[in-house]
Amino acid sequence: MKFIDEAKIYIKSGDGGQGCVSFRREKFVPRGGPNGGDGGKGGDVIAVASRSHGTLLDMKFNQHHVAKRGGQGEGSNKTGRSSSDLEVVVPVGTVIRDMETGELLADMIEDGQRVIIAKGGIGGRGNARFKTSTNRAPRHAQEGLPGEEKTVSLELKLIADVGTVGFPNVGKSTLISSVSAARPRIADYPFTTLKPNLGVVNVGDYNTFVIADIPGLIEGAHMGTGLGIKFLRHIERTSILLHLIDISKDPFTGAWDDFETINNELSSFSSTVRAKPQIVVISKIDLTATKERLKEQVDIFGEKGIRVFPISAVTGEGIKELIKEIVKKLAPIQVV
């Protein structure tokens, strides 16, 4: 299924039903008076978050969502039928904004969460409502109020505890496939990952955390180079970042240079994302080139007060230590 994380839809809640003009007509009651009922309420448009939906693909092919109007009032003081609400089901993590005003309408972060994003119009009052001591036979009623009408943007931000960042082909997908049941696409060419992937990591005692595999960045991503920063919205909700670095590549400019380049791109995207706690990981330590350069590169980070976790997602070396560090950093955040 194609991964779609942005969409634009038109929504309109139901108009209120029209009030009724009616008079009581009954044998032996020559002046029964007005008895026109009120119109019914129009249906609301309600956003519903669901974990069974993984993308906004449905919204791409169904862009118009219009609720039904309320029923018209009737005689004998009968109120018109209120229309049923219209539900728009979106994935958990969807942010809904009014495209005209930029107003945040809903942030759907919990499964089953329901938010009214367009309120239905109130039904008009029937002529029975307008009877007074001086106007005992009103011959007018109200139209129902119109429903709200707007175009909204939907933006999906995956909800994960840990997000991976780094250049293409540093081993992010291999890592997530080794610690979870996720099976992202893995190959030896750049930009193998073209969409974010989520994996659930079990850490014993029924504890788990969710890790997000984000497509790789390159220098100039904030200006649209490569895949740009399109997918970085998916790590805005994460608690910590895994910063993976590959020192086996040639030509090799240094792990610190790679580290700073990626962080500059994160800063250009969002200061909030850049400020997230990071765990620095040097991957592919099973390769000869990595083994030869590892100590020198780890020492450079050590001089700057940064601990590095060398791992091999292929052999499993260093994975347990990395998982322990992730759990350690997540623990105080999850308690809060």
Position 190 scores a pLDDT of: 47
Number of domains in the chain: 2
> Are both 110 and 225 inside the same structural domain?
no
Q: Which of 121, 109, 112 is nearest to 72 (CA)?
A: 121
Among the three residues 134, 156, 178, which one is the final residue of a domain in this structure? 156
Computed over every residue of the chain, the mean pLDDT equals 86
Confidence of residue 243 (pLDDT cuts 50, 70, 90): very high
Cross-strand partners of 267: none
Split at pLDDT 50, 70, 90, the class of 115 is very high
Record the pTM: 0.73
42 and 107 fall within a common domain: yes
Does residue 186 share a domain with residue 83? no
Question: What whole-number distance in Å separates Cα of residue 294 and Cα of residue 314?
Answer: 17
Segment (H or E) for 98: strand 94-98
**20-47 b/e with 16+ CB inside 10 Å = b?**
bbbbeeeeeeeeeebbbbbbbbbbbbbb
130 and 169 both lie in a single domain: no
What is the DSSP annotation of 222-236? GGT-TTTTGGGGGGT
Same domain for 145 and 39?
yes
Residues 148 and 12 in one domain: yes
User: Which pLDDT belongs to residue 181?
Assistant: 60
Res 218: pLDDT:
61
Determine the pLDDT at residue 195: 62
* Judgement on whether residues 196 and 283 belong to the same structural domain of the protein: yes
Closest CA to 111 of 180, 152, 54, 45: 54
Residues 152 and 191 in one domain: no
Q: Which two tokens stand for residue 23?
A: 């008079």
Percent of the chain topping pLDDT 70? 88
Query: Is the pLDDT confidence value at 220 over 70?
Result: no
Same domain, 117 and 34: yes
| pLDDT confidence band for 174 (50 / 70 / 90) | confident
Percent of the chain with pLDDT over 90: 54
Shared domain check, 313 and 215: yes
What confidence score (pLDDT) does residue 273 get? 85
- Any idea which residue has 């997540």 for tokens? 330
Q: Say yes or no: 145 and 20 in one domain.
A: yes
Range of the domain at 85: 6-156
CA distances from 121 to 37, 107, 306, 322 (A): 16, 24, 58, 55
